[in-house]
């Protein structure tokens, strides 16, 4: 049984100050869609409530839906009411934001639609004083990316308004379906925009706890010297979701967990955990080190796929007393689908810091709970002085429980360190204790939503938390051979697991072959 010790810090006196961006206009393509309603407009409302939007600011929503400007504003108000983390809408804040919102019903891939957008932006510039500065957001299906980018270039919108100001473009994941399509998308985007103008967004990088991985590692002299092969036995990264795919079956059956989660979220977490210290905290210095780490991950050879990779698919089960249909019963999913809803991988990193240290990653749908966690498990002491001691929680005749450092990304954001101590009493024995720091309790305030931070950074021109083109290609270089090997194998290689379990039994075998086990989440 573990004893928990709660660590706290003094409450800060004031919220951190963020620089307010300069004048700009935000153009959202796919403005009538789910992402705009659930994430983008609520994030803009929160920024407005905190006085973090520019004084000269406009939002132009673009979509094919036939909506009037007032209709669009009413929809966005309802979205903010439903999804804002700030609770009931404050009318004075909403009215201030609503006055900046415009709507254009058009297909921008059509040259006439692109010209209409150009003319509207020119009028908005004059009325709102946005100075020709434009931030384009592609909140559309990926199939529309290339056409919108070409249209922006043809309309002269890729370099700011009237030859002045600046232009940036935010591209949502997925960035391709494999290495070749990612390279093609990069080529298409870079024919119109320069790399510094391109902001590839992964919302995981906007989470405060993900950003704190760097602060924790490089800002504390206690831990960074222990962050290497000499002291670390292995690393685990887990992203568990307690929902199935109801409502997204059409999309997910064409994607799967490897494309949807591993290629972006999990490899981004691994790059931050494993990267070398950057020369500075400038965007390019950090992204350079992330790319180096991704390129150092050893590709999995075809003859080792069965030992180092595993895919699963959930069947009917129960989560929290709620019955869950099997994946193949979900609308939009093929009845004989072999798409994976669970992935486990064993990776190795070929560099000086991590040589010989295994990295185990797993992610799955319809698991018992929603949690994202990174665990650093340390090596055993070289001399087991306590192996014959009276120990209540022995893991074998000569084993004590290992020291672990856990970085919880969501939902209970925090950091926990497990170590052994002797409890009061005559006997010499060790019991595990946990020193636990929670962000909410420690800092006394709620962390911002990821899209709030990422939108603000893009407005300010800070690309640190966005993904560079070579990062995307480095991740796909690792993932594409796995996809190809899986597609070449038969359906029996997809292991079933009941919804509400922690995945296929074979996942225990994948990590068990190294005499290790998954950390209990």
Looking at the annotation, which residues are catalytic?
A: 265
35 token code pair: 């992402």
Residues listed for the chain: 521
Instruction: Fill in the DSSP letter of residue 504.
Output: -
Determine the Cα–Cα distance for residues 113 and 104; give it in Å rounded to an integer: 9
Cβ atoms of 157 and 114 within 8 Å: the answer is yes
In three-state secondary structure terms, 417 is strand
In three-state secondary structure terms, 439 is helix
Cβ atoms of 239 and 267 within 8 Å: the answer is no
265 token code pair: 């979220």
Task: Give a three-class secondary structure readout of 43-78.
Answer: HHHHHHHCCCCCCCEEEEEEECCCCCHHHHHHHHHH
Determine the Cα–Cα distance for residues 96 and 80; give it in Å rounded to an integer: 14
155, 223, 185: which is closest to 378 by C-alpha?
Answer: 223
Tell me the HSE value of 483 on the side-chain side, using a 13 A CA sphere: 20
Determine the Cα–Cα distance for residues 220 and 214; give it in Å rounded to an integer: 10
Q: Mention every residue, 6+ apart, whose C-beta is less than 8 A from residue 31.
A: 61, 62, 63, 72, 103, 139
Tell me the HSE value of 327 on the side-chain side, using a 13 A CA sphere: 31
Which helix (DSSP H) or strand (DSSP E) does residue 236 occupy? strand 232-240
Cβ atoms of 26 and 60 within 8 Å: the answer is yes
18 token code pair: 């963020």
Radius of gyration of the chain (CA): 25
């Amino acid at each position: 049984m573990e004893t928990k010790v709660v660590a706290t810090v003094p409450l800060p006196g004031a919220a951190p100050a963020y620089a307010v961006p300069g004048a700009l206009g935000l153009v959202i393509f796919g403005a009538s869609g789910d992402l705009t309603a659930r994430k983008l407009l609520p994030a803009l409302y929160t920024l407005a409530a905190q006085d973090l939007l520019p004084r000269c600011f406009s939002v132009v929503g673009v979509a094919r839906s036939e909506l009037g400007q007032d209709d669009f504003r009413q929809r966005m108000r309802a979205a903010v009411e439903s999804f804002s983390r700030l609770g009931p809408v404050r009318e004075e804040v909403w009215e201030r934001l609503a006055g900046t919102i415009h709507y254009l019903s058009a297909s921008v891939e059509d040259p006439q639609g692109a010209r209409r957008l150009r003319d509207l932006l020119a009028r908005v510039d004059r009325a709102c004083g946005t100075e020709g500065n434009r931030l384009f957001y592609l909140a559309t299906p990926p199939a529309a990316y290339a056409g919108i980018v070409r249209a922006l270039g043809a309309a002269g919108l890729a370099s700011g308004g009237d030859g002045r100001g600046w232009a940036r473009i935010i591209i949502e994941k997925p960035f391709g379906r494999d290495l070749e399509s990612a390279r093609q998308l990069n080529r298409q985007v870079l024919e119109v925009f320069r790399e510094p103008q391109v902001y590839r967004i992964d919302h995981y990088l906007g989470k405060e706890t993900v950003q704190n991985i760097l602060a924790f590692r490089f800002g504390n002299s206690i831990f960074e010297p222990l962050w290497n092969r000499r002291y670390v036995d292995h690393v685990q990264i887990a992203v568990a979701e307690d929902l199935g795919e109801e409502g997204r079956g059409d999309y997910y059956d064409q994607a799967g967990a490897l494309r949807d989660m591993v290629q972006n979220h999990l490899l981004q977490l691994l790059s931050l955990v494993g990267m070398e210290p950057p020369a500075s905290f400038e965007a390019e210095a950090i992204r350079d080190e992330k790319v180096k780490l991704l390129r150092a991950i050893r590709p999995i050879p075809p003859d080792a796929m069965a030992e180092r990779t595993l895919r699963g698919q959930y069947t009917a089960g129960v989560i929290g007393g709620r019955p869950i249909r099997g994946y193949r019963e979900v609308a939009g999913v093929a009845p004989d689908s072999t798409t994976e809803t669970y992935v486990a991988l064993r990776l190795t990193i070929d560099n000086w810091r991590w040589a010989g240290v295994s990295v185990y990653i797993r992610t799955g749908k319809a698991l018992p709970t929603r949690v994202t966690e990174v665990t650093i498990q340390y090596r055993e002491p070289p001399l087991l002085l306590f192996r014959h001691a009276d120990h209540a929680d022995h893991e074998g005749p000569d084993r004590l429980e290992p020291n672990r450092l856990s970085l919880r990304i969501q939902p209970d954001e925090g950091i926990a360190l497990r170590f052994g101590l002797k409890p009061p009493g005559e006997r010499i024995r060790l019991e595990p204790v946990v020193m636990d720091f929670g962000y909410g309790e420690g800092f006394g305030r709620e962390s911002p939503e990821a899209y709030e931070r990422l939108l603000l950074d893009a407005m300010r021109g800070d690309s640190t938390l966005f993904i560079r083109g070579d990062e995307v290609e480095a991740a796909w270089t690792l993932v594409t051979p796995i996809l190809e090997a899986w597609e070449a194998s038969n359906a029996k290689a997809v292991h079933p697991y009941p919804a509400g379990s922690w995945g296929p039994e074979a996942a225990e075998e994948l990590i068990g072959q190294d005499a290790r086990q998954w950390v209990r989440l």
